[in-house]
Amino acid sequence: MVGTPPELERGTGVPAHVQIERWLLASIAGGELAPGDRLPGERELAGRLGVSRMTLRQALASLERDGVLLRVPGRSGGAFVAEPRPEPRIECDLTGLAGFTEQLRRAHLRAEARILRAATVPAPSAAARALGVAPGSPVHEVARVRSAARERPASWSPVALERSYFPCLPGLLDQDLTGSLYALLATTYALEPRTALEHLEPVIAQPAEAAELGIEPGTPLMLIERTAYAADGTPVEYARDLFRPDRVRISVRSGVTEP
């Protein structure tokens, strides 16, 4: 059952209905209200809160629009805590070479990047082969957790763990690395990625990867290993990206080429 209502603050600039929304959301997050629980009737709840039923209805209507509450008309109805909606999977089309930020924009989602590492490191053997440098040569490594959210997110939801290696481009690590790295390569270094060779492989999340993605160790992931090239064939990125298949669906379009 819903706990003791808060004392609504007056004169703070925060409308009463918004304070009620925040209280109900906190009650759900804290486990005081569970999916399927019925809120007290409007008359009772408005009286306990010290507000008009119109103000209460404004709060309930907002939470209903956000999918938090389900309101059922009739004498046996009322306002019920809704079951959490499953997050829709993000369509990631590998046919083109749109970066992750652009893929999320197309899905009407906002992208966020949390930098785990941005450093100059000796090139691992796979990165060295892909970038055409000697093993152990200096390359730039950028590791990021990519998250997505809708317009009114309760929290960011991790969907991918990216680890990219780049040639030692001057000043790259001093740039803003939270946005599109492909746009950065294009605008700052005239090295827009135009083609890529990608390999897909199912893998199992290791403990460190699982912790960053908010999943259990051993959860299936999709690994995309990619080498991206500029228009003149220069390799500009070697990447190993881990995607949560419960949040991302990979697609590739194909067609018949005329002989």
Domains 16-81 and 90-251 share a fold: no
Rounded alpha-carbon distances, angstroms, from residue 64 to 4, 9, 58, 171, 200: 22, 23, 10, 49, 40
Query: Which stretch of 26-40, 113-127, 166-180 has the lowest confidence by average pLDDT?
Result: 26-40
Confidence of residue 224 (pLDDT cuts 50, 70, 90): very high
Q: What is the phi/psi pair of residue 138, to 5°?
A: -70, 135
Beta-ladder partners of 201: 223
The predicted-structure confidence for 6-59, as pLDDT tens digits, reads as follows 778 877 778 888 889 888 888 887 788 888 888 988 899 989 898 999 999 999
CA distance 155 to 149: 7
Give the 3-state secondary structure of 200-230: EEEEECCHHHHHHHCCCCCCEEEEEEEEEEC
pLDDT in the model for residue 152: 46
CA distance 110 to 151: 7
The CATH number corresponding to 16-81 among 1.10.150.120, 1.10.1200.10, 3.90.650.10, 1.10.10.10 equals: 1.10.10.10
CATH homologous superfamily, domain 90-251: Chorismate lyase-like (3.40.1410.10)
Is the pTM higher than 0.75? The answer reads: no
The predicted-structure confidence for 144-171, as pLDDT tens digits, reads as follows 998 876 554 445 678 899 999 999 999 9
Burial of 100 (0-12, 13-18, 19+ CB in 10 A): buried
CA distance 217 to 202: 14
Domain definitions of the chain by residue range: 16-81, 90-251
- When mean pLDDT is compared over 65-69, 108-112, 118-122, the highest value belongs to 118-122
